[in-house]
Amino acid sequence: MAFSVSSRELETEITNLLQTGVAGNVSDFVCWIKMEIQKKFKDEAILSEKDVANFLEKQKTEGNLISGQFDAREYFLSPDSEFHKKNQTSDRYFILGRLDFSPLQYVKTRLEYFLRRNQVSEEEIIDISIATLEAVENAAKYGDGTSVEVEYSIDRSKLFTISLLNNIKDFDLEDDIKRGKFSSTATLMRGMMVMQKLFTSVDLEILDDRKQASFKATKQLAK
């Protein structure tokens, strides 16, 4: 059965999303509403993309949202948006590791918002964002498409810590060979190299008899 989202529920869902700091275009918001409905009701959402677009445009007219600096179709919170919540030094949430829910853009923009609100420099934000996306991509690629726990914080010594936890999908060696992971010359493994370069420490642990992957990384920020 599919779940039909009324325009009132749509507005509530979008408001909740905006309060987390995520930013994206209309179709990203559509994906994320579907992700929220899937998380809450384990059901597929039917919704009007037009209603989503209209609500976002309305918030822009009212001064709560502005166009993205690099892509004018993206919606970001304006500096004095009513959607800003109290500043937090940690954030924790669940995403679904399915690329059709646009989880990469979700984590990227929510994380960048968090870092900016915590006065992290733009240079460090770029490094953390690139490295984190590699980790989220892995969680979606090697995960079973269900819940991925995302958690990060900045402590008093300005140490940024991030952890991800995903269920691992059944291993398919044929698949890996096809996409060239185990080619005769080299494995890909570019992601881990990028992460090792951009984070201060990186750790990937396979738990519970290969059923879960626990990723942890830190970055010491400039004081």
Residues that bind Mg ion (CB under 5 A): 138, 191
The residue from 40, 50, 92, 190 that contacts ligand ATP (CB under 6 A) is 190
| Token code pair at residue 173 | 């060696």
Q: Are 140 and 99 in contact (CB under 8 A)?
A: yes
The verdict on 191 binding ligand ATP (CB under 6 A) reads: yes
Residue 222 partner contact from ligand ATP, Mg ion, none using kind-dependent CB cut-offs of 5 to 8 Å: none
Write each residue from 104 to 143 as x if it is in contact with ligand ATP (CB under 6 A), else as -, in one continuous string.
------------------------------x---xx--x-
One-letter amino acid of 43: D
CB 82 to ligand ATP: min, Å: 36
The verdict on 66 binding ligand ATP (CB under 6 A) reads: no
Considering only CA atoms, give the Rg of the chain: 18
Q: Are 3 and 93 in contact (CB under 8 A)?
A: no
The residue from 166, 198, 199, 219 that contacts ligand ATP (CB under 6 A) is 166
CB 86 to ligand ATP: min, Å: 31
The verdict on 213 binding ligand ATP (CB under 6 A) reads: yes
7-20 and 49-61 helices, crossing angle to 10°: 60
In eight-state DSSP terms, residue 89 is S
β-strands 44-46, 2-4 pairing? parallel
The residue from 66, 130, 159, 168 that contacts ligand ATP (CB under 6 A) is 168
SS3 127: helix
Residue 215 partner contact from ligand ATP, Mg ion, none using kind-dependent CB cut-offs of 5 to 8 Å: ligand ATP
Residue 66 CB contacts under 8 Å (≥ 6 apart), including other chains: 60, 75, 76, 77, 78
Distance CA 118, CA 90 (A): 10
165, β-bridge pairs: 149, 214
Residue 181 partner contact from Mg ion, ligand ATP, none using kind-dependent CB cut-offs of 5 to 8 Å: ligand ATP
CB 132 to Mg ion: min, Å: 12
| Token code pair at residue 90 | 């940690």
CB 128 to ligand ATP: min, Å: 16
Q: Are 114 and 21 in contact (CB under 8 A)?
A: yes
Residue 189 partner contact from Mg ion, ligand ATP, none using kind-dependent CB cut-offs of 5 to 8 Å: ligand ATP
> For binding to ligand ATP (CB under 6 A), which residues are involved?
134, 138-139, 142, 166, 168, 181, 188-192, 204, 213, 215
